[in-house]
Structure 1
Amino acid sequence: MEGFFLMEIIWSFGVMIVCSLVLHGCNILWLNHRKLRRKLTEQGVTGPPPHFFHGNVAEMRSIATRCKPEPLPRGQISDDWTRSIFPYLHHWAGLYGSLYMYSTSQKLNLYINRPDLVKFLNLHKPLDLDKPSTIAKKPSPLFGKGILRATGQNWASQRKLIAPQFFLDKVKGMMDLMVDSTVAMIEKWEGMILQSDGTVADMHIIEDLNSLSANVIARACFGSSYSEGKQIFAKLRTLQHALSKPDRLFGFHNLGFLPSKANRDLWRIREEVDSLILNMVRARQEENRKALKPEKDLLQMILESADADGTMNEKARDSFVVDSCKNIYFAGHETIATTISWSLMLLAVHPEWQDRIRAEILEFCGYRLCHRGSLDFETLRKLKVLTMVIQETLRLYCPGIILPKEALTEIKLGEIVVPKGVIVWTSIPALHRDPENWGPDAHEFKPERFKDGVSEACKHPQAYIPFGYGSRLCLGQTFAMLEMKIVLALVLSRFSFSLSPEYQHSPVFRMVLVPEHGMRLVVRKI
């Protein structure tokens, strides 16, 4: 009996110690949180008052529930969608302006959408301002430790490996396969129109554009085709949709380690993706053993880099190769495909710009594009109207819509001193629609604003950031612009587009900005 009471006393004492340590830890975190808030408050920065432990998370959930938009009538588009994605950020901007702070759990966040301050973000190096470690962990099943998630020296090493594969001279060599893939899609669309009434068809185009873009990145970087990697792309998209919920991004919960059904499904799909990519890698390694001179594509460079690193064992090498491939697969196809689909949607609503692009194509290419011809790089550079349309699409429907960065040391943004540990958030849709920077027509589709280039399109051109900013600028920017120009030039020389009466306009966040119900357009053969 005495032993029983002694055990109870020991357990009670142990529980008290644990509870005291937890409360002490929370108190330290809270005191540090209050210290950071005080530094910003002294500079005139305000924001919603936080609650102990969970900050403003409960309020964020409440605002998200209250601000769900009514579905638009079919066949109509509106700019109001910008408030439906992360509605709490827009709600607080209406109360506190374009510079305010808020809290998620014990993390202090600084929302900055003042163009004059955003331009200073470009000046800081990754050692000062980089991807937040807490957020980088969220999409781990999708990106692993690849470049999209990596930070610090790991990111710098991967950038050094991947960046040269997307330099201009390399990208020019990919033009023929971009043209071939687009021509194949055009022939499919012509067949669909023929099966309809011979001149016009109401079509869902997003899946075809995804397949086209996936085929280009697979062939350009891995020597394979979309058909070979179809399972990989499908499963990556499943992971993408599951991981892109705002509650995961903003830390509404941190239960990714628990074996819930949703988490078990994520782990299973991740293992399947990794296995499929590893099979592709093993096939390439077998080819290399037989070949006298292995093909020097991105996959080969990744393999050689992994083999040259003497610090990695076989498991670590496999993980490095698989994660690198997943990142390139994701970044290299859906962002491009969705931007093309948004471009065609905007052109469908503004047919006069379709006519201007076709007139430009006729001027510089003659009828060459109307017959299975190829484009050369110098001709593409002359298509200024087409470039303006793409730039305006990226302004209004940029695939990346939120940029978080953590201050790894105290930094200065204009007159604002940001303390170490604060996470800086920038909403690209809000920034790209700011009337103070873009003028009173900021919400309108007006490609002519880019007629003299980005530098003359707005007051603060550094705040036009469709490909990110600073040292983490998108490595595939040149590749993406070239592919978008080729695809749009070819399809607009063959077809005209109008909005389908069945199109449901509902842009949603799934790691990138995508049309929730697909992109449905009326496609007419010219």
Structure 2
Amino acid sequence: MKSIQSTAEMPQSKARGHVEHSYKWTHFPYFERWRREYGPIFTYSTGHTVILYVSRPDLVKEMNLCKSFDFGKPSLLHKQRHALFGDGILLSNGPMWAHQRKILAPEFFMDKVKGMVSLMVECTISMLNSLESRIDNEGGIAEIGVDGDLRSLSADVISRTCFGSSYSKGKEIFSRLRDLNLSMSLQPGIPVLRYLPTKKNRKIWRLEREIRSLILKIVNGRKQDQSVDSSKKDLLQMIMDVLEASRAGPDAVNRFVVDNCKTIYFAGHETTALAATWCLMLLALHPEWQARACAEVVDVCRGRIPDSDMIRRMKTLTMVIQETLRLYPPAPFVAREAFEAMEFGSLKIPKGANAWIPVLMLHHDPQIWGPDAHEFNPERFSNGVSSACKNTHAYMPFGMGLRVCLGQNFAMVELKVVLSLILSKFSFSLSPKYCHSPIVRMTVEPKHGLDLIFKRV
């Protein structure tokens, strides 16, 4: 794999200003070579782990519809990412996962998310005021590295809507989570090295302890605060109430709260911030779509602050977001492990084998999306996902099946709020120094950030 990778052309080697969306060829050239040689289904091994690569849409559909607890998150992934997510909902399996989803999912139903729109707007306006000040100081036009602002904004939104605190209180947690994710992505792939007291491992262990301490500090502060309005309970308070009613021991309560707070903190802000970043990059690259989306915002809002009803009516913006998530999905793969022997159509998966579904490859497959699969064309979603591609199960920006991301409603609404407010205030274009270089860690992100030239509308 390393040998094949070394011969692949990396995105940053391309001329500055050139944007190539088919970056799967440069990041996963071995998968592309093996797929051409062996077809859409093949196996390979890394150490003792057998991985089944599945990119055939009919089998992906069957796996998507599987409701068995025997087809869950891989044990290997749990070991690799335990410091980041613990035993939270993202990595747990079976009854433990079902219990956690039962507690957490209702807080992200659409009726609850609609009630969060005003807070999302408030957080976004605060960021826009900061951008306006910088633009005014530069004489009406300014070059801004906007990816950091979007990350801070998304962190503020998830903090305030789900945990009742502003970004200023949660920024230490976010900073350490990002540092932890980066440190873990640079870890060697040899499993035994994860347990040795190397310099990198000691840093990971230290960050894990610090994050736990910071989250428990917020939790303990909440326990001592008797002024929480019972009619306005946030996610953290609801979790604490449910666990208190269950009479779980203090260690179990702390572990549940810490692990799921880490999951929501990271997944709830990092992926949404990246989706917003890629949306702005694509709109800057395609001014005709920026103009269409802006015209829709003006027509729907008519100078007013967007509310949940206005957000629902923004069809063009929805198409832009859906196409962005197709080209730059938050997670490039969906991974599952067969805890018992499984059968999907003619495919038999033995116990212990891992199945990897390449979301990135499926999203860029011309046989599914047509000859323009590598191009930005939101029009393909004008009649929904079912008309955009030949197999709707091949579109999975929020995962698949029973374990589809419970925060997808939250993410879509937040993206519409943020983008609509930005479009109502500014026009923007790519900076000449922008270098398109998507890098795949746990998520797909711009290696060199996103520099845009902003101008007041």
Same fold by TM-score greater than 0.5: yes
Give distance in 1, aligned partners of 2:253 and 2:29: 42
**Aligned AA for 2:330?**
P
1:513 has 2:444 as partner: yes
Asked whether the equivalents of residues 141 and 266 of structure 1 are also in contact (C-alpha less than 8 Å), the reply is yes
- Give 1:440's aligned residue: 371
2:297–2:423 Cα contact (<8 Å) kept: no
* Deviation for aligned residue 1:61: 3.0
Q: Are residues 1:302 and 2:239 paired? A: yes
Match among 321, 342, 352 for residue 288 of structure 2:
352
Q: Is the 8 A contact 1:126 1:471 kept in 2?
A: no
**Mapping 1:107-506, distance limit 5 Å:** 107-198=49-140, 200-245=141-186, 251-288=189-226, 293=230, 295-312=232-249, 314-366=250-302, 368=303, 373-506=304-437
TM-aligned CA distance change 1:183 to 1:323, over 3 Å: same
Quick one: distance in 2 between partners of 1:493 and 1:64? 43
The C-alpha deviation readout for 1:118-170, integer Å capped at 9, x for no partner, is 11111112413111112211111111111112111111111111000001111
Q: 1:89 aligns with which of 21, 25, 31?
A: 31
**TM-superposed deviation, 1:306:** 2.8
Letter in 1 for 2:157: V
Deviation at 1:255? 1.7
The 3-state SS of whatever aligns with 1:202 is strand
**SS at 1:417's partner residue?**
strand
Q: TM-score, normalised by structure 1?
A: 0.84
Measured in 1, the distance between the counterparts of 2:385 and 2:429 equals 28
1:243 corresponds to which letter in structure 2? M
CA distance in 1, matches of 2:50, 2:229: 56
Deviations 1:81-104 (A, max 9, x none): 222334322332232222111111
Aligned CA-pair RMSD: 1.7
Number of positions where the alignment pairs a residue of Structure 1 with one of Structure 2: 456
The aligned counterpart of 1:52 is: none
What is the CA–CA distance in structure 1 between the aligned matches of 2:112 and 2:251, rounded to whole Å? 31
Structure 1 window deviating more from structure 2 (128-137 vs 210-219): it is 128-137
Identity across matched positions, percent: 49
* Residues 241, 511 of structure 1: 8 Å contact kept: no
Q: How far, CA to CA, are the matches of 1:383 and 1:317 in structure 2?
A: 41
SS at match of 2:167: coil
> In 1, distance between residues paired with 2:27 and 2:177?
22
| Mean CA deviation greater in 490-499 or 82-91 | 82-91
> What is the CA-CA distance between 1:68 and the residue it aligns to?
5.5
Aligned AA (1:262) = K
Scaled by the length of structure 2, the TM-score of the pair is: 0.96
SS of match in other structure, 1:229: helix
Q: Which has the larger Rg?
A: 1
The question of whether the paired residues in 2 share the 8 Å contact of 1:401 and 1:512 is answered with yes
CA deviation vs aligned residue, 1:15-39 (integer Å, no higher than 9, x gap) = xxxxxxxxxxxxxxxxxxxxxxxxx
* Residue segments in structure 1 that go unaligned for 5+ positions in a row: 1-59
1:72: Cα distance to partner? 2.4
For structure 2, the residue ranges without an aligned partner over 5 or more in a row are none
**Structure 1 counterpart SS, 2:169:** coil
Cα distance in 2 between the residues matched to 1:253 and 1:84? 26
